Amino acid sequence: MDRNSNRNIEKGTAGKKRGGFTGRLGFVLAAAGSAVGLGNLWRFPYLAAKYGGGIFLLVYIVLALTFGSVLMTAEIALGRRTGQSAISAFSSIRPKWSFLGILCAVVPIIILPYYSVIGGWVCEYFFTFAAGNGAAAAADGFFESFIASPWKPLLFFALFVSVTFLVVLFGVEKGVEKSSRILMPALVILTIGVTVYSLTLPGTWEGVKYYLLPDFSRFSAKTVLAALGQLFYSMSLAMGIMITFGSYMKKDSSISSSVRQIELFDTGIALLAGLMIIPAAFAFSGGSPETLGQGPGLMFVALPKVFQSFGSVTGGILGGLFFALVIFAALTSAISLMETVVSILMDKFGLSRRRAAVIVYIGTLLLGIPSSLGFGALSGIRLFGMTILDFFDFLSNSVLMPVVAILTCVFLGYVAGCDTVLEEVEWTGRRRKENFFRVMIRYVCPVCIALILVSSVLSALGVLSL
Ligand code: PHE
């Protein structure tokens, strides 16, 4: 393939036109739209609370600056070099490696259904606030009884998936991207405002200390695994999404500065979300470890109480606005997940966009139902001690994504050669960075990720207690 050809408009494998990003800003915004979502606002804070606060934060930042930037650079560069989406990028270099493309495709198929279940929870909170019932949402037990009820979570889940489907079906992602230029900054500003306010509430300082000061006695292999899985999830890595994004990127845009900006944005919002939620959870629970370890409900339990403390009118408006913006952030991520699966079906099986989208829509609805019911009707079912939703989350983030990441490193480090991507990144002449990249891809990333993966799987199976 002529590497210097203009990839702005390109033929995909099924002969469909590939649109390109008009410039680096467009690329960064779209990639950030995929990266910033529930992972930052919902998942990061509850993991940080659960895995020791400051120590989790420290491990996460170190991993983001090393593993995160190396893997993201590698994926984007691989995509731009080959001009292909994940499913064919690997095989276009080495046909035998087509299995890795398929493995990449499995990850979004697992994530999308349960991601949409959480998206549905956010919708419920939005409607509750919009209807002026913020006080009910802030009451103890609201979250638990909502997720345990049979119909409501299912309906909101279906609503969330349907909106995602409509956007993908009509191909109006561009419109969504445009609105994200306004709505994402609005979310950031509102989050900063709520954070500042929540830090003035009595009893939050203990939480701030817990969140920001690392306590090394809380360090464990589990902390590292949780942080690593979160890193992949939050940055949309290890599932081929960034490869696909890279394939749309123009040759004269800088990969390394794009990576820096996406990382900064994504990590910044996650850290901020933690600061908004964890100290508030501390203040309202008296800092009891049970509340902090309660998992997926943390954001939903802590935030309504913060909004409530504004008084019912202001709190109601702010809460409604906030959850609306969270829905938007979640939608941009869900769209990128669904779009990935749809384009794989189109490329692989030559399906029309419409048919592929309908298949993914129905599949997502069916797969999401057990995750949603796992907190109510099906709460008796535990998979390795986890609820159904937690199990899917574990399967994608703690098992499949690490496997994909290791294989990607092996592919680039030993099969295709690091030069495949290094030539694509513009550090030419910067030996130190190149050497760092090679050492990371060939040795550090695969070995460390493999160690973490093995220990995590053993511990989930109950063979090892970490
Ligand atoms: N990165 C997104 C988030 O933080 C989730 C996501 C994962 C989106 C994988 C696309 C692909 O919410």
pLDDT score of 5 more than 70: no
What is the pLDDT of the chain when averaged over all its residues? 87
- Tell me the whole-structure pTM to 2 decimals: 0.89
Mutating to test ligand 1, I would choose from 336, 339, 344 the residue with most ligand atoms within 8 A of its C-beta, which is 336
Specify the pLDDT at position 292.
65
Atom of ligand 1 nearest to the CA of 329: 12
The finding on whether 87 has its CB within 6 A of some atom of ligand 1 is no
Atom of ligand 1 nearest to the CA of 38: 12
Confidence of residue 459 (pLDDT cuts 50, 70, 90): confident
pLDDT score of 359 more than 80: yes
The finding on whether 122 has its CB within 6 A of some atom of ligand 1 is no
Q: Which residue has its alpha carbon closest to ligand 1 atom 4?
A: 39
Tell me the average pLDDT across 245-252.
Answer: 85
Tell me the average pLDDT across 43-53.
Answer: 92
Domain extents for the chain?
4-373
Specify the pLDDT at position 450.
93
Specify the pLDDT at position 291.
61
Confidence of residue 340 (pLDDT cuts 50, 70, 90): confident
Closest CA to 297 of 42, 89, 124: 42
Tell me the average pLDDT across 447-459.
Answer: 86
Q: Which residue has its alpha carbon closest to ligand 1 atom 8?
A: 333
Q: Which helix (H) or strand (E) holds 427?
A: none
The finding on whether 39 has its CB within 6 A of some atom of ligand 1 is yes
The finding on whether 112 has its CB within 6 A of some atom of ligand 1 is no
Give every CB contact of residue 178 below 8 A, 6+ residues apart in sequence.
none
Confidence of residue 344 (pLDDT cuts 50, 70, 90): confident
pLDDT score of 209 more than 90: yes
CA-CA-CA-CA torsion sign (92, 360, 243, 7): positive
User: Residue 241 Cα, ligand 1 centroid: separation in angstroms?
Assistant: 9
Atom of ligand 1 nearest to the CA of 241: 11
The finding on whether 270 has its CB within 6 A of some atom of ligand 1 is no
Cα angle 67, 72, 75 (rounded to 5 degrees) comes to: 125
User: Residue 32 Cα, ligand 1 centroid: separation in angstroms?
Assistant: 10
CA separation, residue 295 to residues 81, 231, 286, 371, 415 (Å):
40, 17, 17, 15, 40
The answer to whether 81 touches 424, Cβ cutoff 8 Å, is: yes
User: Residue 134 Cα, ligand 1 centroid: separation in angstroms?
Assistant: 28
Specify the pLDDT at position 9.
33
- Cα torsion through 322, 264, 296, 450, rounded to 10: 160
Lowest model confidence (mean pLDDT) among 5-14, 35-44, 85-94: 5-14
Confidence of residue 1 (pLDDT cuts 50, 70, 90): very low
Specify the pLDDT at position 31.
83
Per residue in 56-89, pLDDT tens? 999 999 999 999 999 999 999 999 999 888 888 9
Closest CA to 68 of 203, 290, 215, 228: 228
User: Residue 412 Cα, ligand 1 centroid: separation in angstroms?
Assistant: 24
Mutating to test ligand 1, I would choose from 36, 115, 243 the residue with most ligand atoms within 8 A of its C-beta, which is 115
Specify the pLDDT at position 402.
92
Confidence of residue 372 (pLDDT cuts 50, 70, 90): very high
pLDDT score of 465 more than 70: no
The finding on whether 267 has its CB within 6 A of some atom of ligand 1 is no
* Distance separating alpha carbons of residues 426 and 249, to the nearest angstrom: 14
Specify the pLDDT at position 15.
37
Specify the pLDDT at position 277.
92
The finding on whether 233 has its CB within 6 A of some atom of ligand 1 is yes
Task: Report which of residues 409 and 84 the model is more confident about.
Answer: 409
pLDDT score of 27 more than 80: no
Tell me the average pLDDT across 360-378.
Answer: 93
pLDDT score of 25 more than 60: yes
CA-CA-CA-CA torsion sign (153, 155, 160, 164): positive
User: Residue 429 Cα, ligand 1 centroid: separation in angstroms?
Assistant: 34
Per residue in 284-311, pLDDT tens? 876 665 566 667 889 998 899 999 888 8
Tell me the average pLDDT across 333-345.
Answer: 87
The finding on whether 44 has its CB within 6 A of some atom of ligand 1 is no
Specify the pLDDT at position 384.
79
Specify the pLDDT at position 11.
36
pLDDT score of 41 more than 90: yes
Tell me the average pLDDT across 403-409.
Answer: 96
Specify the pLDDT at position 268.
95
Tell me the average pLDDT across 315-329.
Answer: 93
Give every CB contact of residue 156 below 8 A, 6+ residues apart in sequence.
120, 121, 123, 124, 127
Specify the pLDDT at position 126.
96
- Highest mean pLDDT out of 12-16, 20-24, 232-236, 431-435: 232-236
Confidence of residue 342 (pLDDT cuts 50, 70, 90): confident
* Burial degree of 202 (CB within 10 A; 0-12, 13-18, 19+): exposed
Specify the pLDDT at position 227.
93
Q: What is residue 178's three-state secondary structure?
A: helix
The answer to whether 456 touches 225, Cβ cutoff 8 Å, is: yes
Topology of domain 4-373 in CATH is Hydantoin permease (1.10.4160)
